[in-house]
Amino acid sequence: MANLLQVTEANFDSEVLKSDIPVLVDFWATWCGPCKMIAPVVEELAGDYAGKIKVGKCDVDSNQGIAIKFGIRSIPTLLIFKDGEVAGQIVGALPKANIKSKIDDVL
Protein backbone atom coordinates (compact mmCIF):
# COMPACT_ATOMS: atom_id res chain seq x y z
CA MET A 1 0.00 0.00 0.00
CA ALA A 2 3.07 2.25 -0.05
CA ASN A 3 2.24 3.72 -3.45
CA LEU A 4 -1.48 4.12 -2.70
CA LEU A 5 -2.91 7.48 -1.83
CA GLN A 6 -5.92 7.69 0.48
CA VAL A 7 -8.24 10.07 -1.36
CA THR A 8 -10.61 12.06 0.85
CA GLU A 9 -12.83 15.09 0.47
CA ALA A 10 -10.10 17.09 2.25
CA ASN A 11 -7.30 16.25 -0.22
CA PHE A 12 -9.26 15.53 -3.43
CA ASP A 13 -8.64 18.90 -5.11
CA SER A 14 -4.92 19.06 -4.30
CA GLU A 15 -4.06 15.37 -4.88
CA VAL A 16 -6.37 14.56 -7.81
CA LEU A 17 -7.71 17.61 -9.66
CA LYS A 18 -4.49 19.65 -9.39
CA SER A 19 -2.10 16.73 -9.94
CA ASP A 20 0.53 17.25 -12.63
CA ILE A 21 0.30 13.55 -13.61
CA PRO A 22 -2.83 11.43 -14.26
CA VAL A 23 -4.53 9.93 -11.21
CA LEU A 24 -6.40 6.61 -11.04
CA VAL A 25 -8.97 6.69 -8.22
CA ASP A 26 -10.56 3.46 -7.02
CA PHE A 27 -14.00 4.19 -5.54
CA TRP A 28 -14.74 1.37 -3.10
CA ALA A 29 -16.35 0.39 0.21
CA THR A 30 -15.44 -2.07 2.95
CA TRP A 31 -18.62 -4.11 2.43
CA CYS A 32 -18.13 -4.51 -1.35
CA GLY A 33 -16.99 -8.00 -2.43
CA PRO A 34 -15.86 -7.06 -5.98
CA CYS A 35 -13.95 -4.11 -4.47
CA LYS A 36 -11.94 -6.57 -2.36
CA MET A 37 -11.28 -8.70 -5.45
CA ILE A 38 -9.89 -5.76 -7.43
CA ALA A 39 -7.86 -4.23 -4.55
CA PRO A 40 -4.68 -6.30 -5.17
CA VAL A 41 -4.80 -5.37 -8.87
CA VAL A 42 -5.08 -1.66 -7.99
CA GLU A 43 -2.08 -2.05 -5.66
CA GLU A 44 -0.07 -3.77 -8.42
CA LEU A 45 -0.93 -0.96 -10.84
CA ALA A 46 0.31 1.60 -8.30
CA GLY A 47 3.69 -0.16 -8.41
CA ASP A 48 3.67 -0.76 -12.17
CA TYR A 49 2.97 2.89 -12.95
CA ALA A 50 4.93 4.52 -10.11
CA GLY A 51 6.10 7.97 -11.23
CA LYS A 52 3.78 7.93 -14.30
CA ILE A 53 0.42 8.10 -12.52
CA LYS A 54 -0.82 8.41 -8.97
CA VAL A 55 -3.14 5.71 -7.69
CA GLY A 56 -5.61 6.45 -4.92
CA LYS A 57 -8.50 4.79 -3.14
CA CYS A 58 -11.63 6.66 -2.11
CA ASP A 59 -14.01 5.05 0.39
CA VAL A 60 -17.45 6.09 -0.86
CA ASP A 61 -19.03 5.67 2.58
CA SER A 62 -16.61 8.17 4.17
CA ASN A 63 -16.49 10.52 1.17
CA GLN A 64 -20.03 10.61 -0.19
CA GLY A 65 -19.64 14.13 -1.57
CA ILE A 66 -16.98 13.01 -4.07
CA ALA A 67 -19.00 9.93 -5.06
CA ILE A 68 -22.08 12.08 -5.67
CA LYS A 69 -20.12 14.74 -7.58
CA PHE A 70 -18.78 12.15 -10.04
CA GLY A 71 -21.97 10.10 -10.29
CA ILE A 72 -20.57 6.92 -8.76
CA ARG A 73 -23.57 4.59 -8.79
CA SER A 74 -21.90 1.20 -8.57
CA ILE A 75 -18.62 0.12 -7.08
CA PRO A 76 -15.91 -0.64 -7.76
CA THR A 77 -15.60 2.27 -10.16
CA LEU A 78 -12.17 3.42 -11.28
CA LEU A 79 -11.89 6.94 -12.64
CA ILE A 80 -8.78 8.23 -14.38
CA PHE A 81 -8.28 11.97 -13.98
CA LYS A 82 -6.01 13.99 -16.24
CA ASP A 83 -5.64 17.77 -16.04
CA GLY A 84 -8.51 17.96 -13.53
CA GLU A 85 -10.98 16.12 -15.79
CA VAL A 86 -12.26 12.55 -15.94
CA ALA A 87 -10.33 10.99 -18.84
CA GLY A 88 -11.39 7.37 -18.36
CA GLN A 89 -13.84 5.22 -16.43
CA ILE A 90 -13.93 1.53 -15.55
CA VAL A 91 -16.94 0.08 -13.74
CA GLY A 92 -16.72 -3.35 -12.14
CA ALA A 93 -13.92 -5.73 -11.28
CA LEU A 94 -12.26 -6.06 -14.68
CA PRO A 95 -9.04 -7.97 -15.42
CA LYS A 96 -5.76 -6.09 -14.97
CA ALA A 97 -5.13 -6.01 -18.74
CA ASN A 98 -8.38 -4.10 -19.33
CA ILE A 99 -7.48 -1.53 -16.67
CA LYS A 100 -3.90 -1.15 -18.01
CA SER A 101 -5.29 -0.55 -21.48
CA LYS A 102 -7.50 2.32 -20.18
CA ILE A 103 -4.55 3.83 -18.30
CA ASP A 104 -2.30 3.56 -21.38
CA ASP A 105 -4.98 5.35 -23.46
CA VAL A 106 -4.75 8.32 -21.08
CA LEU A 107 -0.94 8.38 -20.90
96-106 helix and 33-48 helix, angle to the nearest 10 degrees:
50
Do residues 62 and 12 touch, judged by C-beta distance below 8 A?
no
Phi-psi region of 103 (alpha: psi -120 to 50; beta: other; left: phi over 0): alpha
CB atoms within 10 A of CB 73: 9
Is 35 in the active site?
Answer: yes
The contacts of residue 1 (CB under 8 Å, 6+ apart) are 43
Residue from 5, 32, 42, 45 carrying the catalytic annotation: 32
Residue from 5, 35, 46, 53 carrying the catalytic annotation: 35
Choose among 25, 22, 3: nearest CA to 75: 25
The catalytic residues are 32, 35
